[in-house]
Amino acid sequence: MPEEGLQWNSRNDLLSFEEIIRLLSILHGLGIRKVRFTGGEPFVRKDFMHLLRTVFKMKLFDEVTLTSNGVLLQPHLAELKELGIAGVNLSLDSLDEARFFQITRRPEFETVLSALHALMAAEIPTKINAVVMAGKNEADIAAFCAFTKDHNVAVRFIEEMPFNGGSSSASSFLETDNKPASSAAWHWKAILAEIQRHHPQLERLNDGPTSTSMNYRIANHAGSVGIIAAYSRTFCGTCNRLRITPKGALQTCLYAGEGLSLRDLLRTQSDSTVAQALKQAVSHRAKDGFEAAHTQPRTSMAEIGG
Ligand code: SF4
């Protein structure tokens, strides 16, 4: 979350429970088979578990996953497991309490760590998303690598993006000729070099067909490590993701601003008109994150969801 905080949306601005369910049915009709609910913390929404139960009951999706910052997650783990959650991504930038506090400005380290251990104990496939921020958590690259020795989790180190509320100001990410500026210090190659400095024996794993991460296993470690080149944008060619903000805006790329208002369409139009508008928006999506970045200004990651 940006240091200056976020402007909270009024309830009527947000998609209602019924609108989300309707939208999910429309998306299923268009061929979408996987859905991820993201935060911050999706559980801040009071009806979130009710929403999840309903989604599982609909039996429309092959895979339902979620991304959480771990603050409100743990009390729901048993039910999530029972419902059949396919995996949880935990946003956790540091394994050190002081650094965690410096980054999040919340005294929730113990809560999040406890949620992480509970996820592993429940054998829910777990990925840790850690944004590498210059001057804040470089030491956590080694710490997270060590963590995978005895814990079967996938840690993904993420290049910082100019809009994720981390260490760098947007101006330090200015681009020339569509190339990431060198001031984005923790470029994926630097992250890889740092991992290799501690663990020269890295086995390259097979990334799935639409994977966003380059994945590795450190010799004799139970878990794996990966790198997401979110700023260098090396994986746009296989990106097939759509994002819908809490206010119902469609984002066809992380770097694009808010696009089509699905909320406004849902409130005034038929399902088939919404479906048609979705198809059209997707067919006009930018070819990659560089092109998207030049289309519209965009908002904080905390407002979109991770
Ligand atoms: S197209 Fe956009 S969202 Fe997809 S991988 Fe590239 S930068 Fe990320």
Q: Quick check: 66 and 85 in contact, CB under 8 A?
A: yes
- The residues facing 204 across adjacent strands are 216
Please say if the pLDDT value at position 225 is more than 70. Answer: yes
Looking up tokens 């020339």 gives: 176
Distance 244 CA to ligand 1 centre (A): 14
Pairing of β 224-228 and β 214-218? antiparallel
Q: Quick check: 36 and 67 in contact, CB under 8 A?
A: yes
- Sorting pLDDT into bands at 50, 70 and 90, what band is 47? very high
For position 258, what pLDDT does the model report?
A: 82
DSSP annotation of 285 reads -
DSSP annotation of 9 reads P
Going by C-alpha positions, the residue among 252, 141, 218 that lies closest to residue 186 is 141
HSE-up (13 A, CA, CB side) for residue 244: 20
Mutate to test the pocket of ligand 1, among 159, 161, 173, 288 (most ligand atoms within 8 A of CB): 288
What atom of ligand 1 comes closest to residue 236's alpha carbon? 6
Pairing of β 224-228 and β 202-204? unpaired
**43: Cα separation from own chain's centroid:** 15
For position 228, what pLDDT does the model report?
A: 95
Q: How many residues does the chain have?
A: 306
Nearest-CA residue for atom 6 of ligand 1: 236
Percent of the chain with pLDDT over 90: 77
Supply the Cα-derived Rg of the chain in whole angstroms. 19
Q: Quick check: 230 and 158 in contact, CB under 8 A?
A: yes
Distance 230 CA to ligand 1 centre (A): 8
Write out the DSSP string of 154-175: EEEEEE--TTSSSSS-GGGG--
Looking up tokens 């088939």 gives: 272
Mutate to test the pocket of ligand 1, among 255, 285, 291, 296 (most ligand atoms within 8 A of CB): 255
Q: Quick check: 51 and 20 in contact, CB under 8 A?
A: yes
Token pair belonging to 289: 């994150």
Provide φ and ψ at 267, rounded to 5°.
-80, -10
173: three-class secondary structure by DSSP = helix
pLDDT in tens, 278-292: 999 999 999 999 999
Please say if the pLDDT value at position 199 is more than 80. Answer: yes
In this structure, the residues whose C-beta lies within 6 A of any atom of ligand 1 are: 233, 235-236, 239, 241, 253-255, 288-289, 292
Please say if the pLDDT value at position 4 is more than 80. Answer: no
Distance 256 CA to ligand 1 centre (A): 9
Please say if the pLDDT value at position 182 is more than 70. Answer: no
86: three-class secondary structure by DSSP = coil
Burial of 158 (0-12, 13-18, 19+ CB in 10 A): buried
Token pair belonging to 95: 């394994």
For the entire predicted model, the pTM comes to 0.89
For position 302, what pLDDT does the model report?
A: 54
Please give the C-alpha separations between residue 7 and each of 43, 67, 102, in angstroms, as whole numbers.
Answer: 19, 21, 21
